[in-house]
Amino acid sequence: MTKKKVKWGVIGSGGIARRRTIPEGITPTRNAVLEAVWDVDTNANVEVAAWFKAKASGTIDELLSADIDAVYVASPVGFHYEQVLACAAAGKPVLCEKPLGRSIEQAEQMIEACRRADVQLGVGFMMRYHSQHRAALELIREGKLGKPVFARAQLSCWYPPIPGAWRQDPALGGGGSLLDMGGHCIDLLEMFFGPVSSVSCLTANLVHNYPSEDSAVVSLQFANGALGVVDSFFCLRDESSKNVLELYGSRGGILAQGTIGQGWQGEMTTYLLPDDAGYNADQTRSNGKGTPIVPAPVNMYQAEIEDFSQAVLDSRPLTESALAGLRSQKILTACYKSAKTGKTLPVA
């Protein structure tokens, strides 16, 4: 493809697409342009089209027949499967918000459909693009953290009952706080520490009484032996939850708050020691503030769209992204089974 910009169509133009991905990702990105949008809410779709100077498609088929090069699927989870298959059948590369379908089988079929159609399939794990997360990953890859020991990731918010909110109905969203927010956290920890081998999960409705869980805690064991915890709640006040990220190894820790979420903000600090640091019998703690990690900020949505668009322009595969979506589906499936059975379960 010799085009300099990928023409995007959006399925599910309301919600995260309107709030974040279109204005922060597609519109400002050097190699992307918004061409057409569709949403089940016709009025909202017309508004989005007018705001961003795109075509308001009346149906998904109409959108897929438009002059577009790629599709961003941002609809409720229950529709991801059929819509990604439709994109593949139309020969359109597709970036699908997580999770990749409602089951492991659906995720595998979505990957296979895109493989057969020879189109790229990406999954919306935008937090992988946060500049401080990338900087932490580089330190870990360089061995600065030492042997991985423990990781924690937290993502919580206040999400009271809202009529028609699909994340509060497992029939539409597949799950609650664990699937919606915990999935991002688990994916991040796999990026840092490698594959998860087993999980033990607790879910509950501690405050809100909608069908999806409002509370979830997952204990993880990684294939390299490290341990981890993910906690995700729909019932914690936004001001009280700091969305922390903690990465510990034999040489120290990398601690952050506010980097997990939808924005580029946050603070991250390293507390790293050389391998020959001695034993401290008194276990005194230094008052030192550590070393801040302050790379140039990056808008995660823009970086995600730019990366996918360039893959389309270069005819480059996105195998890692699709497989991360499948991994996430396998882990989340094991988590929900663990919550029901009370058992620690291996990840398929």
Q: By mean pLDDT, which of 87-96, 102-111, 190-199, 278-287 is the weakest?
A: 278-287
Q: What is the mean pLDDT of the chain?
A: 95
CA distance 108 to 132: 31
pLDDT band at 233 (very low <50, low <70, confident <90, very high): very high
pLDDT at 277 over 80: no
Share of the chain above pLDDT 90, in %: 90
Ordered structural domains, the chain, with CATH: 6-125+301-317 (3.40.50.720), 131-263+265-298+330-346 (3.30.360.10)
Rounded to an integer, the average pLDDT of 72-91 is: 97
pLDDT band at 318 (very low <50, low <70, confident <90, very high): confident
**pLDDT value, residue 321:** 86
167-192 confidence digits (pLDDT tens)? 999 988 899 999 999 999 999 999 99
188-220 confidence digits (pLDDT tens)? 999 999 999 999 999 999 999 999 999 999 999
